[in-house]
Amino acid sequence: MDIQSRVAAFIVLIVFALVPTMAFSQITSVANEVVPTEYSSGSQDNIHVFCGEKGDLNASLIASSGAEPASFEWLKYNESSGNFDPFLNDQSGNTTSTISNLADGCYRVNVTGTSGVTTYTAWVFNNYVEATAEIPESDCIKFTLKGTLLSPTTFTYIDLSNGQPKLLNKGIQVEWLENGTTVVSRVITSEIFDPPTKNTNYVLSVTDRFDCVARINIEYISIVTKASFEATKPERKSDSRFDEAPLRVTFNNTSENGDAGKYEWFIFRDLDEIKRESAANGGVVKDSILIKIFTDSPEYIFENSGKYMVKLVSKKISEFHTCTDTFYMSDYIVADTAFIEAPNVFTPNGDEFNEKFVVRFFSMKTVKISIFNRWGKVLHVWESNNVQGFSPTIDSTPQAVWDGKVGGKLATPGVYYYVVEGTGRDGKRKRTSGFFHLFRGK
């Protein structure tokens, strides 16, 4: 360390040793926030802000003389005269003095000890944040969260350097929180679109720069509904790739906040049928709706092949509004077109494999199966004018298949002939025929 640095350090130590204890006296508080004044000139004072309720006098100030006993003369600024008037004279000889239950304003203290008099000045404000909240409007599209701020947004203090008033902005911020956590708006009066389908709690949170807070709870009573459903079809048995007509579909209503007994289901006609009608009538379709159903979770049988769209309308009825919501399926319900398939060989030999001649048909309404020997003699006939799907038919009606017997006796191995004809549930006539082989060897 050079000689100049050593000298400077020594001087600092001497100054601190000579400065009296009174130099460390000050004004403190338990305020929520302390900010400096913004006088136009001269030294600045502190502003002590205390949070509380409207009308509370929470402000207090503490003057300290350090370790030296002192007397404390408290004064309050008189805005009318521009002078400081006596407020409290504390001659206790303590090292601290506290004044409490203070009204807004500027306070000064003269701290007198054996080493002299030191003066300090501070402003105090009893701050509060107060608001109200309500939902004055609510309809099927939106509702209004309305807040009203009841506390002032600024404080006014006096610039002691020139006697002019100055504003201290409270910096108020507003948030509306859904269920107390999710911010939905930062505007004190807000319109909320797409209202929730459940009664929901909203909190109006009002804060300022001094950490004063007001929180008001209000409940939104839902008057809206959200339509939705799921379609359940039976397990595919005839063909794992397609759904067969007649197709039984169960609609599971998963709507939110709808009124029981007020649901409307719209099942539209086959899409291709609608297109054909539109093309034939210059783009005009007389009625695209196949049927309307008024129940909560219906079951419907699509008797014919086609592509069908389904719509659900959910309703919520309140005192002043009837709110509705519509839900369409994301895809069509397809009952596939009719077809017939027959094997070209079967082996009724007792090995439990390929024991019966089974003509497979799909989405048929009427079916007639005829089997002939090589000379044209009819060996087997089965006919139905109301086919309810291939799998149920073969399971419930053994007569639908040929077991390779004629009059209870085993038919001779060889070549046979079949004819299958009927009407599909797409409205079209179907016919197929051909030869097949009967083998009995193992």
Contacts of 166 (CB under 8 A, 6+ apart): 37, 38, 39, 156, 157, 158, 159
Q: What is the pLDDT of residue 442?
A: 62
Please identify, among 82, 98, 127, the residue that sits at the C-terminal boundary of a domain.
127
**The tokens of 132 are what?**
């109200």
Rounded mean pLDDT, 329-345:
94
User: Is residue 278 within 8 Å of residue 285, measured between CB atoms?
Assistant: yes
Q: What is the pLDDT of residue 254?
A: 98
Q: Domain range holding 183? A: 131-220
**pLDDT tens for residues 386-419?**
999 888 888 888 889 999 999 889 999 999 999 9
pLDDT band at 24 (very low <50, low <70, confident <90, very high): very low
What CATH code is carried by the domain that includes residue 397? 2.60.40.2550
Nearest partner of 129 among 250, 16, 216, judged by Cα: 216
**The tokens of 289 are what?**
């709706």
pLDDT over 90 (residue 440): no
Q: Which bin fits 259, alpha (ψ -120 to 50), beta or left (φ > 0)? A: beta
Note whether 176 and 113 are same-domain residues.
no
pLDDT band at 240 (very low <50, low <70, confident <90, very high): confident
pLDDT over 60 (residue 21): no
Q: Is the pTM of this model over 0.85?
A: no
Question: Which helix or strand (DSSP H or E) is residue 43 part of?
Answer: none
pLDDT over 60 (residue 6): no
Note whether 121 and 10 are same-domain residues.
yes
Q: What is the pLDDT of residue 1?
A: 42
What CATH code is carried by the domain that includes residue 161? 2.60.40
* Number of domains forming the structure of the chain: 4
Note whether 434 and 412 are same-domain residues.
yes
Q: What is the pLDDT of residue 331?
A: 94
Number of H helices, E strands in the chain: 3, 36
Note whether 117 and 166 are same-domain residues.
no
Question: How many angstroms separate the CA atoms of 298 and 301, rounded?
Answer: 10
Note whether 235 and 329 are same-domain residues.
yes
Percent of the chain whose pLDDT exceeds 90: 85
Q: Output the CA–CA distances (angstroms, integers) from residue 345 to 65, 97, 367, in the order listed.
A: 116, 114, 21
Question: How many angstroms separate the CA atoms of 26 and 112, rounded?
Answer: 12
pLDDT band at 22 (very low <50, low <70, confident <90, very high): very low
Average pLDDT, the chain: 91
Note whether 250 and 344 are same-domain residues.
no
Note whether 7 and 123 are same-domain residues.
yes
**pLDDT tens for residues 118-162?**
999 999 999 999 999 999 999 999 999 999 999 999 999 999 999
Question: How many angstroms separate the CA atoms of 102 and 106, rounded?
Answer: 10
Q: What is the pLDDT of residue 150?
A: 93
Note whether 259 and 351 are same-domain residues.
no
Note whether 428 and 346 are same-domain residues.
yes
pLDDT band at 297 (very low <50, low <70, confident <90, very high): very high
**pLDDT tens for residues 67-119?**
899 999 999 999 999 999 999 999 999 999 999 999 999 999 999 998 899 99
